[in-house]
Amino acid sequence: MTPTITLDKSAVTEYPLHELIRNRWSPRAFSSRAVAAEKLGSLFEAARWAASSRNEQPWRFIVVTREDEEAFNRAFSCLMEGNQKWNHTVPVLLFGIAKRNWSHNSNPNAYAWYDLGQAVATLALQAVAEGLAVHQMGGFHKDRVRELFAIPEDYEPVVAVAVGYRGEVEDLPEDQRQREVAPRNRKPLSELVFEGDWGEPSSLASR
């Protein structure tokens, strides 16, 4: 059997892209190989150095690995069924949590989710540099995470993230193999980037 670990889903781009960005995608096939603490440290370091509004750093993380079976099972139990199907081999799960309110005045921070997004995107790119992959999930039971991990009211579970080495497509459930090997797609730049006025595609998009 050919090792599908070579599955190439790097982005097909109109403009050149740094390899770290080009090679990031969200696999479902993960190996059960453990991830060294040093590498996990670099992932969180990357998140830590993301930009945030007023340098609020409204990101927090709960991380569990299979070495702590009890905590891992607790985290796993928070995933929705569809995600549990392909997470059964994942060695590391984490939750990205947003601090809802500004530290300086306790008013709601409209950028809390935005900045958490910046942190997790940066973490995902560091993962590529480490030879790892991550797959973010909105499909998890947020109230259950709050309860099982004692998240305070001021903080909000936003995203679950699978972290590990890529695995074999053949090990995925039948119905998920097709998604795994399907080409990645994105809207064309002409629908995303406007120049001068809304809806007028940038000249960047028309070359």
Residues 129-188 that bind a second copy (CB under 8 A): 129, 136, 138, 149-152, 155, 158-159, 184-187
Binders of a second copy in range 70-109 (CB under 8 A): 70-71
H or E stretch including 48? helix 37-48
Measure the CA–CA gap between 75 and 63, rounded to whole angstroms: 9
Return the structure tokens found at 127: 């993962």
CB 65 within 8 A of CB 33: no
Measure the CA–CA gap between 18 and 80, rounded to whole angstroms: 34
Shortest CB 42 distance to a second copy, Å: 4
Q: Does 34 bind a second copy (CB under 8 A)?
A: no
Length of the chain: 207
Beta-carbon contacts of residue 193 (< 8 Å; ≥ 6 apart): 201, 202, 204, 205
Return the structure tokens found at 93: 């799960």
Sign of the C-alpha dihedral computed for residues 65, 71, 75 and 76 taken in this order: positive
Among 5, 33, 41, 173, binds a second copy (CB under 8 A): 41
Measure the CA–CA gap between 154 and 142, rounded to whole angstroms: 14
Q: Does 122 bind a second copy (CB under 8 A)?
A: yes
Closest CB to a second copy among 29 and 119?
119
Among 7, 34, 44, 141, binds a second copy (CB under 8 A): 44
Q: Does 204 bind a second copy (CB under 8 A)?
A: yes
Among 69, 110, 170, 178, binds a second copy (CB under 8 A): 110
Shortest CB 159 distance to a second copy, Å: 7
Q: Does 28 bind a second copy (CB under 8 A)?
A: no
Measure the CA–CA gap between 147 and 149, rounded to whole angstroms: 6
Shortest CB 174 distance to a second copy, Å: 22
Measure the CA–CA gap between 157 and 182, rounded to whole angstroms: 30
Among 6, 8, 15, 105, binds a second copy (CB under 8 A): 15
Shortest CB 199 distance to a second copy, Å: 8
Using the contact rule CB under 8 A, the part of the chain among 27-35, 48-56, 78-86, 163-171 near a second copy is 48-56
Shortest CB 99 distance to a second copy, Å: 10
